[in-house]
Structure 1
């Protein structure tokens, strides 16, 4: 098994897609983001389309050339410009281009990806962990987030994460969005068949307080199943050929290159 050397090596791992549910729920738990998604996003009605758009953006940023990054940046920025609301008594104001909100979204992607990666492969060396952390800022700075908004180092990120964790909350609106995302209807049968496993992994990657925010069921039995899945995955997945593990990244980038041409 080759050793990772950069964000591109780590970000290309297909297994990290399994953390998508955790990242999305943490984003929904930010009141502005959660109501923004509820009021403006088509995540619920078109979950696979939104997943494909997100993965295209992430893969382009972590391993694409300048043309690909420019292409996805223009598309995302154009979409964000149309998504804003003034807010009211039941919903906070929302602007998809707000740098602070983009910071939180990028932070959830980083924290989820690194947590899951280290569950599967073990801890990175401090030097590589620092380098990957600095590179992850690209997920925000590629859009409108100023570079200086990204916490200066991993220790600063830890303080930011702890502070933000104390502000997270849900209500009936955001819990309903989460429920529909975890129990999708407008998806193929093969996706529905995999959702029980996806729900278990998503809940397992959250802590107890976060699960409670979304009324996600948990029990010692579920914890044992989750732990068993992680043990098997950490034993089997790293031994798969790199070409297979990075196959989704290659497909997304190939499709994006074709669209640019």
Structure 2
């Protein structure tokens, strides 16, 4: 039993840690209105695409594969009762960090940290490398790092499903920029893999290790997500199949997800058909609401009703918060 999995107390993020990472990000900002990345960044280019929604289920299930994260979501969130609220909450914070002004991004980071201070508890049962009743805290670095990794990697998976793959230089830039975002999550620089190749190795090693594992409860939660239970949204079968194909085979099995010939054909059809449709989408559908809000801000243009509605889809409200 690896002690780093069960306690992690020495690697918990403090408020002083976070403030030092915010200060480092602030020193990079040349135009606060453009935020911490800006319109010319590859972070904006990747994360503006509404195709990111394609991999939202994948990221969610990979997060549930971490027992700390799954238990925290079960005990401290509305994931089962209000899955759409959970979706909105995640994108509200992440998109504000990416597309908001620099002050908005830093306020979002502090708000996320404050929310995480209230999330702690004990694992109800033994799973993977974790003992029953072992303690978890949302501010422990191993769990934060895994959540960050699922978001960063899944964004690339979705982007490359509908658009030309990023070349090695672009992936290197994307990952280097993502380290700034990691700091706003509270992650120390030394906890991060050094480059994109090291990052991919970290993800692969995690997926093969006892740091991840699926309990009966997390399996139940995953089935809820995959079927849209608790919301008005009926998850299409092709989306379920695509999500399953994008998971490591280990987690298809541990989450008990069907992936027979019918599901494989459905996933393949989706990957062939979606890019053809996606390239023809009008801008107001192709690009996420927070990016459109940022474009209006930089052009000194008042956002319209259509943008408000698109923002409602992505973040559950008219504007990015913390303005």
Same fold (TM over 0.5): yes
For 2:83 and 2:264, locate their aligned partners in 1 and report how far apart those are by CA, in whole Å.
27
Deviation per residue, 1:143-196 (Å, 9 max, x gap): 2111221211012112211210112211212111112222343322xx12x343
Q: Does 1:63 align with 2:99?
A: yes
Alignment-derived partner of residue 48 in structure 1: 84
Q: 2:206 aligns with which of 164, 168, 171?
A: 164
Alignment-derived partner of residue 214 in structure 1: 255
For residue 200 of structure 1, report the CA deviation from its aligned partner. 2.3
Residues 140 and 205 of structure 1: CA distance in aligned 2, closer, same or farther (over 3 Å):
same
Counterparts of residues 138-157 of structure 1 (less than 5 Å): 138-157=180-199
Alignment-derived partner of residue 205 in structure 1: 246
Q: Does 1:232 align with 2:273?
A: yes
For 2:271 and 2:133, locate their aligned partners in 1 and report how far apart those are by CA, in whole Å.
38
Unpaired runs of at least 5, structure 2: 1-39, 125-130, 293-310
- Greater relative contact order (CA < 8 Å, ≥ 6 in sequence): 1
Counterparts of residues 10-159 of structure 1 (less than 5 Å): 10-87=46-123, 90-159=132-201
Q: Residue 137 of structure 1 contacts residue 150 of structure 1 at CA under 8 Å; is this kept in 2? A: yes
If the length of structure 1 is used for normalisation, what is the TM-score? 0.88
Give RMSD over aligned pairs.
2.1
Residues 154 and 186 of structure 1: CA distance in aligned 2, closer, same or farther (over 3 Å):
same
Q: Residue 29 of structure 1 contacts residue 169 of structure 1 at CA under 8 Å; is this kept in 2? A: yes
If the length of structure 2 is used for normalisation, what is the TM-score? 0.72
For residue 241 of structure 1, report the CA deviation from its aligned partner. 3.6
Q: 2:229 aligns with which of 185, 202, 226?
A: 185
Higher-Rg member (1/2): 2
Structure 1 stretch 149-158 or stretch 64-73: which is displaced more? 64-73
- SS for the counterpart of 1:127 is helix
Alignment-derived partner of residue 305 in structure 2: none
Residues 133 and 242 of structure 1: CA distance in aligned 2, closer, same or farther (over 3 Å):
farther
Structure 1 stretch 32-41 or stretch 99-108: which is displaced more? 32-41
- SS for the counterpart of 1:157 is helix
For 1:170 and 1:200, locate their aligned partners in 2 and report how far apart those are by CA, in whole Å.
19
Residues 97 and 195 of structure 1: CA distance in aligned 2, closer, same or farther (over 3 Å):
farther
Residues 229 and 137 of structure 1: CA distance in aligned 2, closer, same or farther (over 3 Å):
same
Q: Residue 172 of structure 2 contacts residue 196 of structure 2 at CA under 8 Å; is this kept in 1? A: yes
Unpaired runs of at least 5, structure 1: none
- SS for the counterpart of 1:159 is helix
Alignment-derived partner of residue 9 in structure 1: 45
Residues 217 and 86 of structure 1: CA distance in aligned 2, closer, same or farther (over 3 Å):
closer
- SS for the counterpart of 1:123 is coil
For 2:284 and 2:41, locate their aligned partners in 1 and report how far apart those are by CA, in whole Å.
16
